[in-house]
Amino acid sequence: EVQLQASGGGLVQAGGSLRLSCAASGFTFDGYVIGWYRQAPGKEREGVLCVSSSDGITYYGDSVKGRFTTSTDNAKSTVYLEMNSLKPEDTAVYYCAADLRGMGCILTAVHGMSYWGKGTLVTVSS
For the stretch 50-72, pLDDT in tens is 999 888 889 999 999 999 999 99
Q: What is the pLDDT of residue 31?
A: 83
Q: What is the pLDDT of residue 57?
A: 87
Q: What is the pLDDT of residue 103?
A: 87
Q: What is the pLDDT of residue 86?
A: 98
For residue 109, the surrounding DSSP H or E stretch is helix 104-111
Quick count: other Cβ atoms within 10 Å of Cβ 90? 22
Beta bridge partners of 124: 12
Distance of CA 84 to the CA centre of its chain: 14
Low-confidence residues of the chain, pLDDT below 70?
none
